[in-house]
Structure 1
Amino acid sequence: MSSPSQDAARSKPGRKAPRVEPPAPINVGFILVPDFPLMAYTAAVEPLRAANTLSGYKLYEWWHAAPGGGAVRASSGVAVLTEVEVGSAAQRADRIFVCAGGNPAAFDDPDLFAWLRDLARHGATIGGISGGPYLLARAGLLAGRRCTLHWEHVPAFEERYPEIDVVRSLFEIQGDRVTCSGGIAALDLMLNLIERDHGPGLAAGVSDWFLHNQIREGLSPQRMDLRQRFGVRDPRLLRALAAMEANLEAPLPREALADLARVSVRQLERLFRDLLGRGLHRHYLDLRLNRAHQLRRESALSASEIAAATGFASADELSRVERRRRRQAATH
């Protein structure tokens, strides 16, 4: 406890307040893979800029790298100029975020994967945004970890890495591994990291700066719930819809769906026609065909593996059903 004389000395006119040294900036690297999602990247980097502006200090500094170097194009065609070469042994980083979109299952760059492992060995926290976690798994950096990634990439990821625990959350922070589903969720991730680094006041200020009136927790769901997606509120239909989406590899018979909905098969068929404008069978089939299309686009699975993952007896059967749907679409 200070004495009155000490207090008086501190309060003398003209006495300078003690200088507060700013903390050393946290160094953040963004590795952008061609066709990366621009929204997810900007939602991750802009909060760092805002934190510096609002605090008056250089709390964060960042750099960019990309396979091949030079300018890297986002899926929208916008190019970002990189200033660090992949594999640079001298590059320091506290955190690394790999931002990827498109078809991450088809991306293969041993030099990048080796660099990520080296950065991790030297103490960097390694993160992935949108399809970026797929590349972390390719590099062997998610073994024994829980992760998330954009819901569009989840089916192919689960088929390829069944041993990795995938959750459909906005983001996951597990020690020195950080994964994010992308889109606006990258803003929520960065706000949470800013709060951990510099307190809730700055995080709230950055959130307010971007007109983001609620900082979402990592475990918040990625997608709208079924009520919002289909515009229905009937609990019987919602139970059936949820069961369908959870059982694409081994489709449930109509009787099982009706039991889950707690109605008769006839009543369930009527609910689908009245509230969704289509039959139960057509809806379930479209879910499976859409998943097959997604796996074909985003995974290296064979045709027979895709058929098995979507409840078809063979690749030939899947192909026949897809041709039939294309013919039906062409006649409407």
Structure 2
Amino acid sequence: MTASDASLTMSDKDREGPAHVGFLLIPDFALLAYASAVEPLRAANRLSGRALYRWSHISIDGTPAPASNGISIDADCGVGNEMRFDYVFVCAGGNPAGFQHPPTFGWLRQLARRGVKLGGISGGPYVLARANVLSGYRFTIHWEHAPAFLEDYPDLDLRRSLYEIDRDRLTSSGGTAPLDMMHAVIAREHGSALAIAVSEWFLQTHVRQGEGPQRMPLRERLGISHAPLLRVVGRMEQNLENPLSREELARMAGVSLRQLERLFRLHLGRSLGEHYLALRLERARDLLRQTSLSVLETGLACGFTSASHFSRAYRGRFGHSPRTERAPHGPLWR
């Protein structure tokens, strides 16, 4: 039994009654990711014929919490409530980097001191990091938030996995990944037979391991099968701050630069340079929306050598300046 196994099972043995799970719903949370975490608990109760879990919803002020699709969920309590929990999962989406609420951060630190198991779903780990309760733990976050997160917290142990369970920290990248994480939790607390029954209840024909990738392979994502081209595009995505030269990329593909340009035109409908620029500008847009980096810092983080060059390229791609992206009524809020 691993340390993470023990941290989940020992508390269950000592517990009287069902485990109490709190879902802290940060405004604009992702509804699918939340549902993927709470529904396995309901199924475990139903299929076992026992009340193994109960759950409560928490909002920052005790009022209904709005999801990113406009649906609101009534809160049972607000942040700071003295209700006793075995687990608290922070569910966040939208732009978790912009969430600032000191009472929430203080309450999460208080829960950590009490030994409550803390989880983060989708953008939730960003909130846990803000509360300073992830130091010394491995964890994951939705791939969309990862670039901004690494700018803010370069020294934390972020993994690009589906989910991570490290002692009393449980994090999931969101989407349907919480189904896989809760399978692991239920299996460790109540046995693999029940966990398998819960997964089959939700028509999971394959339960993914935590270390699995968050994104589709490039072959499926781009709809191409040319191996050398896929290898080059993968390296481009990994080198946005310090772009590789066209000659380096051609050597990686084992073809001439002219042949590589022809492959980009044939399979992706644009030149090598146009594709690389698009990748860097899309990363820049994410950083502008999710971090407090200046326009110049954002440009440098995406391989641009000057603010003017970055601004021209950004306007050419998106039709507005980088500063407009961050304006109170700019594209981010539309």
TM-score above 0.5? yes
- The aligned counterpart of 1:102 is 94
- The aligned counterpart of 2:7 is none
User: What is the alpha-carbon distance in structure 1 between the residues aligned to residue 94 and residue 317 of structure 2?
Assistant: 25
SS in 1 for 2:273: helix
Report Cα offsets for 1:214-251 as digits up to 9, x if no partner: 11110010000100001111111011001100000000
The match for 1:128 among 106, 117, 120 is: 120
Deviation at 1:317, TM superposition (A): 1.6
The match for 1:319 among 306, 311, 322 is: 311
Please tell me whether residue 192 in structure 1 is matched to residue 192 in structure 2.
no
User: What is the alpha-carbon distance in structure 2 between the residues aligned to residue 203 and residue 248 of structure 1?
Assistant: 41
Contact kept, 8 Å, 1:149 with 1:179, in 2: the verdict is yes
Contact kept, 8 Å, 1:32 with 1:99, in 2: the verdict is yes
Residue type of the partner of 2:27?
P
Larger Rg, first or second structure (1 or 2): 1
Please tell me whether residue 288 in structure 1 is matched to residue 280 in structure 2.
yes
SS in 2 for 1:152: coil
Deviation at 1:327, TM superposition (A): 5.8
| Structure 1 residues 119-158: aligned runs within 5 Å | 119-158=111-150
- The aligned counterpart of 1:67 is 60
Please tell me whether residue 42 in structure 1 is matched to residue 42 in structure 2.
no
Residue type of the partner of 1:26?
A
SS in 2 for 1:98: strand
Contact kept, 8 Å, 1:23 with 1:59, in 2: the verdict is no
| Structure 1 residues 1-332: aligned runs within 5 Å | 24-88=17-81, 90-326=82-318
User: What is the alpha-carbon distance in structure 1 between the residues aligned to residue 70 and residue 192 of structure 2?
Assistant: 36
User: What is the alpha-carbon distance in structure 1 between the residues aligned to residue 318 and residue 17 of structure 2?
Assistant: 59
User: What is the alpha-carbon distance in structure 2 between the residues aligned to residue 80 and residue 320 of structure 1?
Assistant: 43
Residue type of the partner of 1:36?
F
User: What is the alpha-carbon distance in structure 1 between the residues aligned to residue 319 and residue 97 of structure 2?
Assistant: 30
* C-alpha distance 249-28 of structure 1, shift in aligned 2 (>3 A): same
Task: After superposing the two structures, state which structure 1 stretch, 176-185 or 309-318, moved more.
Answer: 309-318
Contact kept, 8 Å, 1:172 with 1:219, in 2: the verdict is yes
Unpaired stretches in structure 2, ≥5 consecutive residues: 1-14, 321-334
User: What is the alpha-carbon distance in structure 1 between the residues aligned to residue 52 and residue 278 of structure 2?
Assistant: 49
Deviation at 1:326, TM superposition (A): 4.1
- The aligned counterpart of 1:5 is none
User: What is the alpha-carbon distance in structure 1 between the residues aligned to residue 86 and residue 274 of structure 2?
Assistant: 50
The percent of aligned pairs where both chains have the same amino acid is 55
Residue type of the partner of 2:71?
V
User: What is the alpha-carbon distance in structure 1 between the residues aligned to residue 134 and residue 111 of structure 2?
Assistant: 14
Equivalent pairs, count:
306
Report Cα offsets for 1:141-197 as digits up to 9, x if no partner: 111221110000000000110001211110000001111100100111111101111
Residue type of the partner of 2:97?
A
TM-score in terms of structure 2 length: 0.90
Residue type of the partner of 1:194?
I
